[in-house]
Structure 1
Amino acid sequence: MTQPDPNSASAVQRWARNEADRTAVVYEDTAISYGELAAGVRETAALLKSGGLRTGDRVAWLGRNSASLLRTALAALHLGAIFVPLNWRLAGPELRELIEDSGVHTLLAEDEFRPTVDDIATGLPLRRHLLVDTDPHAPLAGEVPPRWTRLSTARATASAPEPAAVGFDDPALLVYTSGSTGRAKGVVITHGNLLWHDIATTAVIDSRLSDTALVVAPMFHIAGLNGFTLGTLAHGGTVVVRRAFDAERALADLVTHRVANLVAVPAVYSALAQVPGFGRADLSALRTALIGGAPVPPALVKEYTVRGIPLRQAWGLTETAPLAAILPLPLVGSHPAAAGHALPHTEVRLTDPATRARITEAGVDGEIEVRGPQVFREYWNDPEATRRAKDEAGWFRSGDIGRFDEQGLLYVVDRLKDVIISGGENIYPAEVERLLAEYPGVREAAVVGMPHARWGETPVAVVCREGEGDLTVADVRAFAGGRLARYKIPTAVVAHPLLPRTGSGKVDKPALRSWLEKKGWDAWKAGVRQGD
């Protein structure tokens, strides 16, 4: 029996043979058909192969979202190589670490980021530097050093082969985690992970052929590259790609392109709702609106519900490619805060973080573990990290804390690494943040643990608030009204005009802690424990 072909590049070529004129990508208002996309993939694959790229070699991309990024990713998969999307927000030394760790063979970069590469180029294992000068939205801005070959002048010496015959366990992507708590880890996503993720998500959403998906996340993150992107192309749909997120333009895209599927963090949905005209915009085509990656304010869910758009919570990580659980559509109204049930073919359980004893009781917190065909293969060149994260039975320790309710619905409480231990008590910042988000005028809030001489750590809230007057600890205590234990209430509330964010749109808590330290935390922390 012939094994099914899991290669995403093969699917694009099939659509090109059968319906070449169907629109595959809309990039900055330029429509690209499947025929054009497939031809571009073959041309890029031939160019990469002519440079010595072989099966299993790594191809890296350093640039913003673009059609060229998608062509390069698919060309790498076409050849059986591994695509490495690099975070363009990283500093030179951070990029150097990733390039060295992954052993990149060929790097494609936009001119905006070429100087960063030039600064770190000495001693790098790169065998080929390709400068992307074929995108009018990413023009050249100066002289090009001799190490770079312009994409417009590079020529292939042979035609592209047929898409490589790959197995389900063969690596397709190497996506690096943020590294906010230490060294970034390279997550190996296989062709099978991508295919099974598509199969599982399609089974629980109202997916149709030729659906349109809007990409609002950077495609150096798995949510941007594979949230709906590769799956939509595998189904013959259309992917709308913008180089960067702009709320007004994104709202216009949802209307103009009749977008059916969107996955985004709460900050994106909040920004869309604040655009003038949001209430009048025709969003009737938007059937699947998935939200996750950060605590979801109840007011935001209500705002979209009024518009007739149910925001369905979803949960996952880079290691789950990215989704592992989605809230069923009929339960959005009654359980808006739940992450739902595991995807088909996927198992989710809770364990004690210290002992890994199974937790089966409802309402008891534990570490979320996942097992399924979309769970990553390994951490690149890091067998010890892989061993700590995945056991021999295939269970992956997510590092997230969750609980099940009486109906078996999963609720994500917080990241294990973000838990604040104050006076021996565990405080989950997400729980406090959800309450603060309900306070009148608070646009968003983040809670971090800061050092305290007596308690070890103490919770500090950083809030963005509209209107006059600062929010105080007394205000929060009165508003909580018995909904939070006293030890969970922040001992300081600090105003911030705009919370810093990571590339994936999540609040950057290490940056917030640094900001608090620079404000003189050591000088004023002694008096923050009001009433204790």
Structure 2
Amino acid sequence: MKLERVDAADPRAVLRALRGAVLGAGPAIAIGAEGGALPDEVPPGTALVVTTSGSTGVPKSVVLSRNALTAGALATAARVGEGAWLLALPAGYIAGAQVLVRSLVSGHEPAILAGRFSPEAFAAAAASMASSIGGVPTPTFTSLVPVQVRRLLDAAERDDDVLAAVRSFAAVLVGGQALAPVIGDRAAEVGMRLVRTYGSTETSGGCVYDGVPLDATRVRIIDDEVQLSGPTLADGYLGDEAATSAAFPRDEDGTRWYRTGDTGEVVDGVLRVLGRRDNVVVSGGENISLDRVERAVRSIPGLESAVVVGVPDPEWGEVPVLVAASDTDAAALWERVREVVANEVGRHARPHRLVLVEEVPLLGSGKPDRVALRRHAASA
């Protein structure tokens, strides 16, 4: 099957190309970060190749079939309902691409927020979606990352149009990174119906909603690692059989699983993700999960977007450092930070220092750019 690269900066071009790749005869399309030369041909059934660089900066091209993408769209509709979707994320990432796929599968033309995200633009796009079939209003849905949710909630406090917009959606999927509990509470207070999603490009986007796997998705924990199986799994990494075999092992019965690299636990059928297996520093001989420290810090009002990174230290080897935007009252909250982390994680895990930045840098996916933050924190 032919493979063609599409300019993901033009979401309508991605939509047109996906229409052929998912619903038609192709060709398959390539989006995402530049990961070197791509082949002209891909395996039959391929619809989408997404090249991701993530927080590590190491590109990998994930091969997704039309069956996997469609399975994800149908399972989402079965869980949250059917209706019209608003694209408010970059189309070059799986979360944005899946909004378009869901629209194609549902038969509803998506609304597209063009240009840079802002609460005002989001509200205008949401207002334009009002429609009905046979006098029955059509439910609307969208997908966001936590930083967008926070900005919308901040704006909703002073702008009635934004408040009406966030209340108008039957469900707002939130993924990409953990949502701070404070943000979830604020959303519930104003009537914003959030659904926390968990997944990755390798699973065609979110496949676990509010801790519960979508239909046909299975979750297991092996050696504390979250592993996923089901019809939404990618075929693997383009041109990298070794990485594919390592990330997608098979059981003796032939079942394929995806090794997420996340630690977690399942309690009463609900998955709780604890953090990345590799996001750990060894400080003074103690292992410290930076994800656990960050989760504790983000429970403090005002620090919902703070980031914790590990940096080299001549005495301790590595230490956790808190990075926050300079317009927060992080300095005033410093003692509270150390108290909360000591209580929830342990005294050994308390951040050693605070680094203020003008603005926390983000990747195009909306996740913090941890590579840039580590570099800055190490030199600050």
Same fold flag (TM > 0.5): yes
CA positional deviation for 1:492: 1.0
SS of residue in 2 equivalent to 1:442: coil
Larger C-alpha radius of gyration, 1 or 2? 1
Distance across 2 between alignment mates of 1:217 and 1:487: 38
Distance across 2 between alignment mates of 1:308 and 1:179: 32
Listed one character per residue, the Cα deviations across residues 260-308 of structure 1 (whole Å, up to 9, x for unaligned) are 1111110011111122315742544311111121121112111111122
2:124 to 243, 248, 252: 252
Is 1:347 the equivalent of 2:205? no
Q: Could you tell me whether the CA contact under 8 Å between 2:263 and 2:275 is conserved in 1? A: yes
Listed one character per residue, the Cα deviations across residues 302-324 of structure 1 (whole Å, up to 9, x for unaligned) are 11111222322110000000122
Instruction: Give the aligned partner of residue 84 of structure 1.
Output: 30
Distance across 1 between alignment mates of 2:278 and 2:289: 10
Instruction: Give the aligned partner of residue 236 of structure 2.
Output: 378
Listed one character per residue, the Cα deviations across residues 472-516 of structure 1 (whole Å, up to 9, x for unaligned) are 753422344723311121111111221111111000101101112
Q: 1:65-464 residue pairs with structure 2 within 5 A? A: 65-77=10-22, 78-87=24-33, 95=34, 97-98=35-36, 100=37, 102-104=38-40, 170-181=45-56, 183-207=58-82, 211-226=83-98, 228-244=99-115, 245-258=117-130, 260-275=140-155, 276-277=158-159, 280-281=163-164, 283-327=166-210, 340-352=211-223, 366-393=224-251, 394-405=256-267, 407-464=268-325
SS of residue in 1 equivalent to 2:322: strand
CA positional deviation for 1:347: 0.7
Q: Could you tell me whether the CA contact under 8 Å between 1:301 and 1:310 is conserved in 2? A: no
Distance across 2 between alignment mates of 1:188 and 1:468: 44
SS of residue in 2 equivalent to 1:451: strand
The percent of aligned pairs where both chains have the same amino acid is 29
Greater fraction of residues in strand: 2
Change (3 A) 1:434 1:183: closer
Listed one character per residue, the Cα deviations across residues 24-67 of structure 1 (whole Å, up to 9, x for unaligned) are xxxxxxxxxxxxxxxxxxxxxxxxxxxxxxxx111101241332
Change (3 A) 1:80 1:69: closer
CA positional deviation for 1:419: 2.3
Change (3 A) 1:440 1:306: closer
Distance across 2 between alignment mates of 1:202 and 1:174: 23
Change (3 A) 1:425 1:311: farther
Change (3 A) 1:61 1:302: same
Change (3 A) 1:425 1:236: same
SS of residue in 2 equivalent to 1:461: strand
Q: 1:17-96 residue pairs with structure 2 within 5 A? A: 56-77=1-22, 78-87=24-33, 95=34
Distance across 1 between alignment mates of 2:90 and 2:169: 21
SS of residue in 1 equivalent to 2:49: strand
**Which letter does structure 2 place at the counterpart of 1:213?**
W
CA positional deviation for 1:421: 2.8
2:355 to 472, 494, 497: 494
Q: Could you tell me whether the CA contact under 8 Å between 1:472 and 1:493 is conserved in 2? A: no
SS of residue in 2 equivalent to 1:281: helix
Instruction: Give the aligned partner of residue 133 of structure 2.
Output: none
Q: Could you tell me whether the CA contact under 8 Å between 1:367 and 1:399 is conserved in 2? A: yes
Listed one character per residue, the Cα deviations across residues 213-260 of structure 1 (whole Å, up to 9, x for unaligned) are 11111111111001x321222111231112332221112322332471
Range that drifts further, 298-307 or 172-181: 172-181
Q: Could you tell me whether the CA contact under 8 Å between 2:21 and 2:48 is conserved in 1? A: no
Change (3 A) 1:262 1:424: farther
Listed one character per residue, the Cα deviations across residues 162-210 of structure 1 (whole Å, up to 9, x for unaligned) are xxxxx9x711111112154253111000011012112221221122xxx
Distance across 2 between alignment mates of 1:271 and 1:251: 12
SS of residue in 2 equivalent to 1:301: helix
Q: Could you tell me whether the CA contact under 8 Å between 1:450 and 1:458 is conserved in 2? A: yes
Distance across 1 between alignment mates of 2:287 and 2:166: 42
Change (3 A) 1:280 1:501: closer
TM-score by length of 2: 0.88
Distance across 2 between alignment mates of 1:371 and 1:309: 31
**Which letter does structure 2 place at the counterpart of 1:81?**
P
Instruction: Give the aligned partner of residue 92 of structure 1.
Output: none
Q: Could you tell me whether the CA contact under 8 Å between 1:473 and 1:490 is conserved in 2? A: no
Distance across 2 between alignment mates of 1:76 and 1:199: 17
Larger RCO (CA within 8 A; separation ≥ 6) = 2
Q: Could you tell me whether the CA contact under 8 Å between 2:326 and 2:359 is conserved in 1? A: no
Q: Could you tell me whether the CA contact under 8 Å between 2:293 and 2:341 is conserved in 1? A: no
**Which letter does structure 2 place at the counterpart of 1:248?**
E
Q: Could you tell me whether the CA contact under 8 Å between 1:197 and 1:321 is conserved in 2? A: yes
Change (3 A) 1:427 1:254: farther
Change (3 A) 1:412 1:304: same
**Which letter does structure 1 place at the counterpart of 2:377?**
L
Distance across 2 between alignment mates of 1:179 and 1:441: 26
1:476 to 330, 337, 342: 337
CA positional deviation for 1:69: 2.6
Q: Could you tell me whether the CA contact under 8 Å between 1:179 and 1:185 is conserved in 2? A: no
Distance across 2 between alignment mates of 1:68 and 1:79: 17
Is 1:512 the equivalent of 2:373? yes
CA positional deviation for 1:351: 1.2
Distance across 1 between alignment mates of 2:171 and 2:187: 12
Q: Could you tell me whether the CA contact under 8 Å between 1:200 and 1:344 is conserved in 2? A: yes
Unaligned runs of 5+ in 1: 1-55, 88-94, 106-166, 328-339, 353-365, 520-532
Q: Could you tell me whether the CA contact under 8 Å between 1:297 and 1:434 is conserved in 2? A: yes
CA positional deviation for 1:103: 2.2
SS of residue in 1 equivalent to 2:168: coil
SS of residue in 2 equivalent to 1:417: coil
Listed one character per residue, the Cα deviations across residues 336-384 of structure 1 (whole Å, up to 9, x for unaligned) are xxxx1111111111111xxxxxxxxxxxxx1110111110011101000
**Which letter does structure 1 place at the counterpart of 2:79?**
V
